[in-house]
């Protein structure tokens, strides 16, 4: 059920990182790693399974919202996770010429 704002002692801005602020431009991350980064944790931080589930619930919509500023990579193993990274055009100090996407395809 909705609660009146007056129920809460305080409210805070709902600020989220942009991909270029969150990711190292030379790294690719899984959804659980992104979830940790969004909480200012290290990508390999230990979290209990219930907490990780909540963090992932926040990370998936963030990835979908920022899809135009992300690149994806196939899993490293057939049953492994996908990987996401900041797109070259979204990385700080880089232009959006799309060259990396074509060069990775071998075109």
Domain residue ranges of the chain, discontinuous segments joined by +: 18-86
Q: What are 47-79's pLDDT values in tens digits?
A: 999 999 999 999 999 999 999 999 999 999 999
Is pLDDT at 95 greater than 80 in this prediction? no
**106 pLDDT band (50/70/90 cuts)?**
very low
**14 pLDDT band (50/70/90 cuts)?**
confident
- 18-23: Cβ within 8 A, 24+ apart: 18/66, 18/69, 18/90, 19/66, 19/69, 19/70, 19/86, 19/87, 19/90, 20/69, 20/86, 20/90, 20/91, 20/92, 22/86, 23/85, 23/86
* Predicted TM-score of the model (pTM): 0.75
């Amino acid at each position: 059920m909705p609660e009146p704002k007056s129920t809460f002692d305080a409210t805070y801005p709902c600020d989220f990182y942009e991909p270029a602020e969150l990711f190292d431009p030379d790294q690719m991350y899984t959804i659980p790693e992104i979830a940790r980064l969004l909480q200012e944790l290290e990508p390999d931080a230990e979290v209990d399974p219930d907490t990780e589930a909540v963090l992932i619930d926040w990370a998936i919509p963030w990835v979908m919202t920022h899809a135009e500023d992300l690149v994806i990579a196939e899993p490293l193993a057939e049953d492994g996770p996908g990987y996401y990274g900041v797109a070259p055009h979204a990385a700080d100090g880089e232009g959006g010429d799309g060259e990396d996407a074509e060069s990775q395809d071998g075109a």
